[in-house]
Amino acid sequence: MAKRTAVKNKPADGVNPRQPCPCGSGKRYKACHGSAGGAADVIVSRPFQGLAAEAELIALREFVPSATVKLPLKDGSGREIVLATVLPMAAAGLVRADGTAFVGLQVQTRSGDLSRDLARAVQWALTAKIGDALAVVGPDDGSNPGRLQDLLDPEAALSPELHPDFAWWLPPDNEPAGEVALSLERANAAILPTERLDAPGVDAAYWVDAGDKAHLRWVRPEPEETLLAALARLSVRGELDLGEGSRYAGSFRAHGLLVPVWDLDRELHSSEWAPGAEALGKRLRDALTSLDAEPLTEQERRARDGLRGRQITLR
């Protein structure tokens, strides 16, 4: 009698159905992204995990008003895809009159996995024609684009270009008129002046002028509890600031990471805070390293509990 050989089916992306889902949901792949329609029912709390650009993507998604950056696609496609914070009418994608293809980050998501929806927008943009627009990522069409992690170079960093307005919505030397001009005017009026801090060891840190004061919003890659412990250690030492005219305000959570926020003297130019951010970054790295050898003291634990309760709301 011929010996039977059991054949286990694998999906096209090669993930074992019984393994944990790569999205981090804690479910098996076959019950999550590996099931038909399963992705739409699962909320992925950390959609950009595994990408070196995770913190920058979170900043662009959550609070940077007007910025663009070319996506480092793996496949070397002949068409460049530009990731944008916001597109006209909060579109998921569009191809400008000069042929530039964009996908938008600040959009209504179709599923509980922002990474999956972005991957589908990128796949659309690769073949879309001049003048085409994707208002929203539609129902699953069976194309199985995977997630953003499947399309991007995971080790590539992002250095976004920030813009003072949304004039880049139109090709160069194209003057807006009518409804387009009105839409641009409204969008530009909503922008809070924002600058990305440029300093060694400082990534995904943005200065924002909120009117009465300025802020530094810094997306950190560390696990929340580890980061809070390090921040508490600096707080007890009186080292949790960027220098005179700054104070720690609190933090908020965004897509699985913690974003500490500092209030800043808005009379100082954004670039003047770069040295303070660099020094704070070094102190924070030292504090993170020290946690393995030196557990928190009672005073530091109380400080950590206080920091944990200082959640803020963006405005």
Fold type of domain 195-308: Yope Regulator; Chain: A, (3.30.1460)
Residues 32 and 42: their CA atoms lie apart, in Å, by 7
Q: 260: closest CA among 211, 204, 192? A: 204
Please give the angle made by the CA atoms of 131, 136 and 137, to the nearest 5 degrees.
105
H/E stretch holding 249: strand 246-254
Per-residue pLDDT of the chain (315 residues; tens, 9 = 90+): 433 333 334 444 445 677 776 555 566 766 665 655 444 457 899 999 999 999 999 999 999 999 999 999 987 667 899 999 999 989 999 999 999 999 999 998 778 899 999 999 999 999 999 999 999 987 666 666 789 999 999 999 999 999 999 999 998 888 887 877 888 999 999 999 999 999 999 999 999 999 888 999 999 999 999 999 999 999 999 999 999 999 999 999 999 999 999 999 999 999 999 999 999 999 999 999 999 999 999 999 999 999 998 888 665
Domain limits, CATH 3.30.1460, in the chain: 195-308
- Cβ neighbors of 85 (< 8 A, separation 6 or more) are 60, 61, 64, 65, 66, 67, 68, 104, 105, 106
